[in-house]
Chains A and B, each alone.
Chain A
Amino acid sequence: MTNEQLNSGNPRVDIEYRRKKNAEEMRHQVISFALMIFLTLIAFVAVAYEEFSGWFVVPFILLLAGVQVIFQLFYFMHMSHKGHEAPKLFMYAGMVVAFVTILCYTTIIWW
């Protein structure tokens, strides 16, 4: 990672490999896009269906939202690729800090 130059020498390096990689990438994106639409539909159905109580629907939707975030990060923002270790580390660290904060607020301020 040290100091990568923007225009790396030869443009035709491993073009075959890149093409294959891109095709695979595309497939992942289409699949996860379809899944995300599907999850969104489920969320709408859950709200529209009157038998479910709010105590079920709200956590359920939040769960779906969490899944969507993961899809978004890993497939559309390429977090699964190499070279994203630092952003990942910082996101996890941020989640830990946020989690501790919320835990603390819920336990010692609000209850």
Chain B
Amino acid sequence: MSTIAQKKGFGATLWDYLTTVDHKKIAHLYLIAGGFFFLVGGLEALFIRIQLLKPNNDFVSAGFFNEILTMHGTTMIFLAAMPLVFAFMNAIMPLQIGARDVAFPFLNALGFWLFLFGGIFLNLSWFMGGAPDAGWTSYASLSITSEGHGIDFYALGLQIAGLGTLIGGINFLVTIINMRAPGMTYMRMPMFTWTTFIVSALILFAFPPLTVGLFLMTFDRMFGANFFDAAMGGNTIIWEHFFWIFGHPEVYILILPAFGIFSEIFAIFSRKRLFGYSSMVFATVLIGFLGFMVWAHHMFTTGLGPIANSIFAVATMAIAVPTGIKIFNWLFTMWGGSIRFTTPMLWAIAFIPSFIMGGVTGVMLGSASQDYQYHDTYFVVAHFHYVIVGGVVFALFAGAHLYWPKMFGTMLNEFLGKITFVLFFVGFHMTFFIQHFLGLWGMPRRVFTYLPGQGFETSNVISSIGAFLMAAGVIVLLVNVVITSVKNEKVGNDPWEDGRTLEWALPSPPPYYNFKQLPLVRGLDAYWLEKMDGKKGMTPAEPIGDIHMPNNSFIPFTISLGLFIAAFGAMFHGDEGNTWGVPVLIFGLLFTLGSMFVRSIKDDHGYHIPKKELLDDKDLGGKA
């Protein structure tokens, strides 16, 4: 192995990415795949807004509208937001704690391929008889009676993708617990690492209920079980509980990394230490904990009874407290700082009022008696888009601009970045602000059209125009990416000049082994401390020595492929006159098990980068 960059052919690069176990390359894969699904989901959103542009529109049929709506939600949550968050976690978290990779590089790759195959499987439904059409929540009474294979795609696709997410979460947990650099105590971890840690714990506890729910759904639909069929002694409400025991933590799984990214941004571009670091950590932990106690606020109107409703209403409102702590800390971080209005910072500043609006409507919805009015209207749609777009998507854009140099070694154009911001910001508020009122005026959620003369026309037009502005913003970002990649002007370690955490002490992008010598961490904002002491880089904590690295492997791909094949068998075996279903199911599972077997019996100890080679390499950091 040589560390000297060589120009590789397309085939070699492709093979490299198919087999990679390097967290930085896996981050690229997550970014590309997540970005692709984000575009797909965005396209679906545009179709929704075109259909709702005017009353009695027939741009799409009612049934097709349901499919687009369902796939929009499902794609955005599971296939766009989650993997994009994972992209940044993979790219940045190991660098922030001073590790050479995640704890289980092989599992990291496996997690990605499972997600990708699950996502592809779900989207193949478009070409194979129709997509799922029971909403992203897929409530059981509706979904077990849904015709065709749409819901089967949902259950099986999410099962595979969810397995990948679970694996990823466990991997991050182990990494953060075990692989922090010397001196990196828990209370010195950067905020983004902390949120990654808590989020991984949430994943660990939230995904099993989803897994169970999806399995029950799979058996109900494909193997003749009756878990959710009340006529056969089942209980349809159980699905809702399982879904929301997963679903509410899931929204925090999305928002906490966003909080982490913004915490980094506020500190960097205010040139100040994050205000109230320990209370931030505390608030994050508390949000994670409370996130599990509130799921039934999605089910106030199902008839849980006044006692259950009250308990969950109180618990729900309690979450506003730690969230408020965070908001004040961000404000105080900016207070008195010397602020630079870079693109990431613009997103961060815009995030605060946008997210607060979502939080306020959240508390309104959380009060059970009010929720009877709001439930299943556009008010709810406005609420969750304010938190998810105004929180998570803003953070993804901000993170993309902030970490682009660290991931690819080039800077996105700041001017275009700001154009993206303005277009998207204006478009976002235009689309969703008015939807609060649409909801209050009585426009129900998830309807494919409405009648004229009900006062919904103008507002829907405004909303649809806003959607196109957001699309324009995304297109500008894509142009920005292309221009930046073609120009390919490489930047140094710390392109924002005010980097505080360890990742900015490394070259952009870092060498594949990250740290030639593990750094010694002397406090929070480790790199900033060294800079303030007039040093160029980190003080090493160990002498230069051989570095142990894992080998690339194609097996994660084949393990995931097997499940993908098996899913087709499971889905079609029940069709009239189908003979190949069961054999394909068995074949796929054997393929997966076989791959796992090969993995376990093959001795793969990785390889060492010899010390000599590291000493020869001049252009890398770590010179003490």
Contacts and interface: CB of A to CB of B under 8 A. Distances in A.
Interface of A: 1-4, 86, 90, 93-94, 97, 100-101, 104-105, 107-109
B305 A1 contact: no
A1 B182 CA distance: 9
B296 A104 contact: yes
A104 B178 CA distance: 35
Interface centre among A1, A2, A104, A105 (most CB of B within 10 A): A2
A108 B304 contact: yes
A1 B292 contact: no
B292 A97 contact: yes
Contacts of A2: 180-185
Given A101-B209, A109-B238, A3 B182 contact: yes
Contacts of B179: 3
Given A1-B177, A101-B245, A105-B241, A94 B182 contact: no
B180 A86 contact: no
Contacts of A107: 308
Given A97-B205, A107-B308, 12 more contacts: A1-B178, A2-B180, A3-B179, A3-B180, A3-B518, A4-B178, A90-B201, A93-B205, A100-B293, A101-B209, A104-B296, A105-B241
A52 B562 CA distance: 50
Nearest to A110: B235
Contacts of A1: 177-178
A108 B296 CA distance: 11
Contacts of A90: 173, 201, 204
Contacts, number: 44
B177 A86 contact: yes
Interface of B: 99, 173, 177-185, 201, 204-205, 209, 235, 237-238, 241, 245, 292-293, 296, 304-305, 308, 518
A22 to B, nearest CB: 24
B393 to A, nearest CB: 28
A16 B205 CA distance: 42
Contacts of B204: 90, 94
The 3 A-B pairs at the shortest CB distance, nearest first, are namely A108-B308, A2-B180, A97-B205
A4 B103 CA distance: 12
Contacts of A3: 99, 178-182, 518
Nearest to A4: B178
A94 B235 CA distance: 25
A108 to B, nearest CB: 5
A93 B178 CA distance: 19
A107 B235 CA distance: 15
A101 B238 CA distance: 11
A85 to B, nearest CB: 9
B241 A109 contact: yes
A67 to B, nearest CB: 25
A4 B173 CA distance: 16
24 contacts: A1-B177, A1-B178, A2-B181, A2-B185, A3-B181, A3-B182, A86-B177, A90-B173, A90-B201, A90-B204, A93-B201, A94-B204, A94-B205, A100-B292, A100-B293, A101-B209, A104-B241, A104-B296, A105-B238, A108-B296, A108-B304, A108-B308, A109-B238, A109-B241
Query: Of A94, A107, A108, which is in contact with the most chain B CB atoms at under 10 Å from its CB?
Result: A108
A47 to B, nearest CB: 29
A100 B291 CA distance: 12
